[in-house]
């Protein structure tokens, strides 16, 4: 048996709010991309927002070489803290981590799942765009409903910030570059996840299309898709109010406190 190194994970995280635990997992852009959502959720929940090891200058241990390693480490962290009834919310790469956590959660720690434009599965006919091959303008065109608003010329980015982005990209490539942005067997395992899974998708996402999201949602034992208009790969940034309302509703309808009020057909 291989040794379990997940106890060695050096976790950098911010926490805010009280109530049901919410583990909020950022995507390749780093924790700043989910800061607004974290602030919103902290009004009604206890929000834990880790920085994935290797992002924003944090240390990535030698054994952390894949998304499955990260999923196991976060599950161990939740268990070690005695947290229960956890809602996991993940954006893009973070959604993939959340899905991998859910299929491995034999202790029943996770009671709800929200994946926002998540990668992580192979869907026939719906390839994941190779973001590593795009220049800054191409990435903006694929990622945003309004690319002109969010595109920044790398020549205008301060050297320190540019270095941070490049290091984050290198870490993402190390964890998710081969096979590219997916676990070949994950889609077939999602049917074993019985907790309610909400997949929120930007209607204009060209990194992973809404059709990809629909197939992702259908693979879960209890999954559904909500498409946010006029939003791309980060609907919580482009359409924060609409996205937050969907997450809020899922927070209320899932979890152990909701079991007494949720009708049997919705379970």
State the residue range of the domain holding 40: 6-257
Domain harbouring 124, CATH code: 3.40.50.1820
Strand 20-25 with 110-116, pairing:
unpaired
Q: What is the mean pLDDT of residues 59-81?
A: 94
Instruction: Output the CA angle 122-125-128, nearest 5 degrees.
Output: 50
The answer to whether 42 touches 6, Cβ cutoff 8 Å, is no
Q: Would residue 1 count as lying in a domain? A: no
Angle separating helix axes 67-80 and 159-176, nearest 10 degrees: 100
pLDDT in tens, 38-49: 999 999 999 999
pLDDT in tens, 211-246: 999 999 999 999 999 999 999 999 999 999 999 999
Q: Would residue 112 count as lying in a domain? A: yes
Which residues lie below 8 Å from residue 207, measured CB to CB, with a gap of 6+? 92, 117, 119, 128, 129, 131, 142, 143, 232, 233
**pLDDT of 256 above 90:** no
Count the domains in the chain.
1
CA 104 – CA 247 distance, rounded (Å): 23
Q: Would residue 263 count as lying in a domain? A: no
Q: Would residue 264 count as lying in a domain? A: no
pLDDT in tens, 127-148: 999 999 999 999 999 999 999 9
Q: Would residue 175 count as lying in a domain? A: yes
Residue 9 has a pLDDT of 74
Mean pLDDT for all residues in the chain: 93
Q: Would residue 141 count as lying in a domain? A: yes
Residues in the chain: 267
Q: Would residue 265 count as lying in a domain? A: no
pLDDT in tens, 163-213: 999 999 999 999 999 999 999 999 999 999 999 999 999 999 999 999 999
């Amino acid at each position: 048996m291989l040794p379990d190194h997940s106890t060695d994970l050096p976790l950098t995280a911010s926490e805010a709010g009280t109530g049901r635990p919410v583990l909020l997992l950022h995507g390749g852009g780093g924790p700043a991309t989910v800061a607004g959502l974290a602030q919103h959720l902290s009004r009604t929940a206890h929000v834990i927002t880790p920085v994935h090891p290797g992002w924003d200058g944090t240390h990535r241990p030698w054994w952390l070489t894949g998304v499955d390693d990260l999923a196991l480490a976060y599950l161990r962290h939740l268990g070690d803290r005695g947290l229960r009834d956890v809602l996991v919310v993940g954006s893009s790469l973070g959604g993939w981590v959340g899905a991998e956590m859910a299929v491995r959660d034999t202790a029943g720690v996770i009671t709800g799942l929200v994946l926002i434009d998540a990668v992580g599965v192979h869907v026939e006919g719906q390839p994941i765009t190779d973001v590593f091959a795009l220049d800054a303008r191409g990435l903006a065109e694929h990622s945003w409903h309004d690319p002109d608003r969010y595109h920044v010329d790398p020549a205008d980015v301060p050297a320190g910030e540019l270095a941070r982005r490049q290091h984050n990209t290198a870490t993402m490539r190390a964890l998710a570059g081969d096979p590219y942005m997916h676990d070949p067997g994950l889609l077939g395992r999602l049917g074993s996840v019985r907790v309610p899974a909400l997949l929120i998708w930007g209607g204009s996402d060209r990194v992973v299309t809404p059709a990809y999201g629909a197939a992702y949602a259908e693979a879960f034992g209890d999954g559904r898709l909500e498409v946010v208009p006029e939003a791309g790969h980060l609907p919580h940034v482009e359409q924060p109010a609409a996205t937050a309302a969907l997450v809020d509703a899922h927070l209320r309808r899932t979890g152990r406190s909701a079991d007494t009020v949720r009708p049997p057909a919705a379970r």
